[in-house]
Amino acid sequence: MFGRITIFLIGFGFMVIGFADIIMYSNLMTIGYNFTEYVHFIISKFECWYSIIGLFIIILTIYIPRRKENE
């Protein structure tokens, strides 16, 4: 149980890092980037992929069934 919580928190941390970078890069639209250029730029940055990786880790920790320890 402690391991699942730890992995969940790691995934949550990745999501926070990724979405913070995505929000920081949204300032690019104020200097003339349109939305498609912004999305292309976001996809090319690895630190923005942390949000997807974190979401995947969180989904795995929630939906993968636990092992029965007493059987």
Give the total residue count for the chain. 71
Joined tokens for residue 49: 């992929």
The pTM for the full model equals 0.78
Whole-angstrom CA distances from 65 to 4, 5, 53, 70 are: 11, 14, 20, 15
**Per-residue pLDDT tens over the stretch 4-55:** 889 999 999 999 999 999 888 888 888 888 889 888 988 898 888 899 999 9
Confidence of residue 1 (pLDDT cuts 50, 70, 90): confident
Locate the domains of the chain by residue range: 2-63
10 Å CB burial of residue 62 (0-12, 13-18, 19+) is exposed
Given a contact cutoff of 8 angstroms between Cβ atoms, the answer to whether 22 and 51 are in contact is yes
Kindly tell me the sign of the dihedral angle through the C-alpha atoms of 30, 47, 10, 7: positive
